[in-house]
Structure 1
Amino acid sequence: MTIVYIGDTNPSSTAFHRFLALKRLGHRVTIYNPQEACQGDLQGFLSAKIHFRTGYQLLQNRIGKWLTGVIDKTADLVWVDSGELIGPSVLKKVKATGVPVILYNVDDPTGPRDGGRFKSLLKALPFYDLVVVVRPETERECRQLGASKVLRVCRSYDEVAHKPYDTIDEIPAQFRSEIAFIGTWMRYEKRDEFLLKLIQNGLPVAIWGDRWQKSPHWNALKDHYRGGALGGRGYVGAIQGAKLCIGMLSKGNRDLHTQRSLEIPFIGGLFCAERTAEHTAMYREDVEAVFWKDVDECIVKCREMLADEQKRESIRLAGMRRVRENKVGNEDICTQILAELEIHQLI
């Protein structure tokens, strides 16, 4: 199959990982980044903020000309990843070529957190042949907004990008830790308060991610900060090199599981996260992963795991097996999506 893939071309991005997964499945895939159509407008601080808040509606003519210019008329499918830059006028031009178009979005475009960011996308929902989302609320709300076919899938790890090191000894020393948290500081999410309480209770936490200097608790956290956002083998090493990995949800995004929920066990980390219906469906508690209700229970669980190497290793290995049995790699999810298209005879 020949696929035109519209998404982030950063090699560390999840969109790029999915593009490579489609290629590994044997498809002929060409990737294009929609930000190339309006790069200058999205780089300036003020202009980027304006376009974010207006849902990129002022950029639609430019994006439409760019997108119709890159679409191969012999393509069997256009795959749009994220889709926040593409509104109904752009999508109509694409559909006029006769090629089916799918949207894959792992954000929460129908939720309240991001304000006007997804205005263009929401108006375009009725024109997609298939809309793929990751949470039940988004599935229901996309249907209410006119999407004719909606598929809900699990988030995914990548079979190649997240391949574990063969042995722990191969992991560079700077990526080894007792307890790791890898993620961005976000205002209102209170991740800093959570991690600070772990630290104040004597737990050895290592933090990687962007924007932590903006935290009001930065002075208390900075000795535990290891550096900015991780990608590639550094990301794999920090997860596999920790005795356990804290997974946090984005409450603004109505998450019940995240990419980390799959990536951490696949890489070989012990997954330690909030107890949710989706997490407990993925993994057996205290057998394949460790869950908690609040920071106080998390402190207890972390102490137990650090003190019991045999149990810790048993849970870690069981989690690695389970996530593979769940068939939630990028290749698995891409295959599921393409099968859904075939069911509806779109290709």
Structure 2
Amino acid sequence: MTIVYIGDDNPSSTSFHRFLALKRLGHLVTIYNPQDACKEQLQGFLGSKIHFRTGYQFLQNRIRKWLTTVLEKQKTVDLIWVDSGELIGKSALETLKIAGAPVVLYNVDDPTGKRDGGRFKSLLRALPFYDLVVVVRTESEKECRELGASNVLLVYRSYDEEAHKPYDTLAEIPTQFQSEIAFIGTWMRYEKRDDFLLKLIQNGLPVAIWGDRWQKSPHWNALKAHYRGGALGGRDYVAAIQGAKLCIGMLSKGNRDLHTQRSLEIPFIGGLFCAERTSEHTEMYQEDEEAVFWNDVDECILTCRDLLGNEPKRESIRRAGMRRVRENKVGNEDICTRIIEELKRNQAI
């Protein structure tokens, strides 16, 4: 199948991982980054802020012309895959539809939620014109239908079979990525992740933190001794997860998360997943057998203490989690296959 893939072409992005997964499945896929159409407009703090808040409405003519050029390069098109889609409004989507191929939207954000203000304004107006809309939240599924999307598929997020492949042995993991308890994630002003991690530290737990913007935390002076560095990608990301005895997973409340990318990536890589107890987490994994969960920081402290002092239990849960996430069929190749099968089922391709 010949696929035009509209998405982020940064090799470390999850969008690019999905592009590669489609190629591994045997499809002929060409990636085009929609930001190439408006690099100048999105550069700089003010410009990017204005377009984010206005839902990229003032960039639509530019993006539409760019998409026309993209399609002129393609001799045949069997499927157009739009990943994220925040830059693709109604007129731009109508341009894509001229190719005569089905167009699928895959979005792992919360486009119908309130956290990001007007960011997805253009995308929401285009929803009725997609042949399939793929989302990762039950709220998004319902709200996309209410906004006119005729075919909506709910999926879990996914790990990547190649990018997140574990090291063969722990001995291969560099010492700088080994830890007792790891948290990998960005500091966010209203998410209180710093409060949570600080309480773990104050209770004597050896926490290692990787991620951006932690210097902005009001608790930075107390956290900086536990800070290992900025955002991780590639094999460093895999090493930090596999090299930890426990991996803390946190949700984004502003995004109405009940699971995140880490919920799949951590067990696949071989980390012991320790996260907030939600309906989706307990559906994915058997509690205390394949992952461990908590309702608040105090329960997390008790859970971490117990597991750090019990290697056989820790290893049993870790191995069982690795098996379960593979059985759940939530790799990028699995999800991409499911999406294409859904399109075939609806006779879109």
Normalised by the length of structure 2, the TM-score is 0.99
In structure 2, give the amino acid aligned to 1:151: L
State the partner residue of 2:63: 63
Structure 2: distance between partners of 1:276 and 1:212: 26
In structure 2, give the amino acid aligned to 1:94: L
State the partner residue of 2:47: 47
Q: Deviations over 1:123-162 (max 9, x none)?
A: 0000100000001000000000000100001110000000
Structure 1: distance between partners of 2:304 and 2:56: 44
State the partner residue of 2:219: 217
Structure 2: distance between partners of 1:311 and 1:43: 50
Q: Deviations over 1:40-75 (max 9, x none)?
A: 111210000000000000000001110121122511
In structure 2, give the amino acid aligned to 1:342: K
Structure 2: distance between partners of 1:40 and 1:177: 42
- 1:266-285 mapped onto 2 (5 Å cutoff): 266-285=268-287
Q: Secondary structure at the match of 1:78?
A: strand
What is the number of equivalent residue pairs in this alignment? 347
Structure 2: distance between partners of 1:224 and 1:110: 36
In structure 1, give the amino acid aligned to 2:125: K
Structure 2: distance between partners of 1:7 and 1:59: 16
State the partner residue of 2:244: 242
State the partner residue of 2:319: 317
* Residues 1:90 and 2:89 aligned together: no
Q: Deviations over 1:257-313 (max 9, x none)?
A: 000000000000000000000000000000000000000000000000100000000
Structure 2: distance between partners of 1:57 and 1:30: 26
In structure 2, give the amino acid aligned to 1:250: S
* Residues 1:174 and 2:170 aligned together: no
* 8 Å CA contact 2:164, 2:269 repeated in 1: yes
* 8 Å CA contact 2:132, 2:152 repeated in 1: yes
* 8 Å CA contact 2:77, 2:99 repeated in 1: no
In structure 2, give the amino acid aligned to 1:283: Y
Q: CA RMSD in A?
A: 0.6
Q: Secondary structure at the match of 2:12?
A: coil
Q: Secondary structure at the match of 2:76?
A: coil
Structure 2: distance between partners of 1:198 and 1:312: 19
Q: CA deviation at 1:209?
A: 0.5
* 8 Å CA contact 2:104, 2:134 repeated in 1: yes
Q: Secondary structure at the match of 1:272?
A: strand
State the partner residue of 1:296: 298
* 8 Å CA contact 1:73, 1:97 repeated in 2: no
Which 5+ residue runs of structure 1 have no aligned equivalent?
none
Q: Deviations over 1:232-254 (max 9, x none)?
A: 00000000000000000000000
Structure 1: distance between partners of 2:196 and 2:305: 15
- 1:154-169 mapped onto 2 (5 Å cutoff): 154-169=156-171
Structure 2: distance between partners of 1:160 and 1:7: 19
Which 5+ residue runs of structure 2 have no aligned equivalent?
none
In structure 1, give the amino acid aligned to 2:66: W
Structure 2: distance between partners of 1:128 and 1:208: 38
State the partner residue of 1:16: 16
Structure 1: distance between partners of 2:91 and 2:27: 28
In structure 1, give the amino acid aligned to 2:222: A
- Indicate the percent of aligned positions where both proteins have the same amino acid: 82
Structure 2: distance between partners of 1:58 and 1:301: 50
* Residues 1:253 and 2:255 aligned together: yes
In structure 2, give the amino acid aligned to 1:285: E
In structure 2, give the amino acid aligned to 1:227: G
In structure 1, give the amino acid aligned to 2:192: K
Q: CA deviation at 1:98?
A: 1.1
Q: Secondary structure at the match of 1:229?
A: coil
State the partner residue of 1:346: 348
Structure 2: distance between partners of 1:183 and 1:73: 42
In structure 1, give the amino acid aligned to 2:11: P
* 8 Å CA contact 2:290, 2:318 repeated in 1: yes
Structure 1: distance between partners of 2:167 and 2:99: 45
Q: Secondary structure at the match of 1:107?
A: coil
Structure 2: distance between partners of 1:163 and 1:93: 38
Q: CA deviation at 1:97?
A: 2.1
State the partner residue of 2:102: 100
**1:265 alignment partner, one of 267, 271, 285:** 267
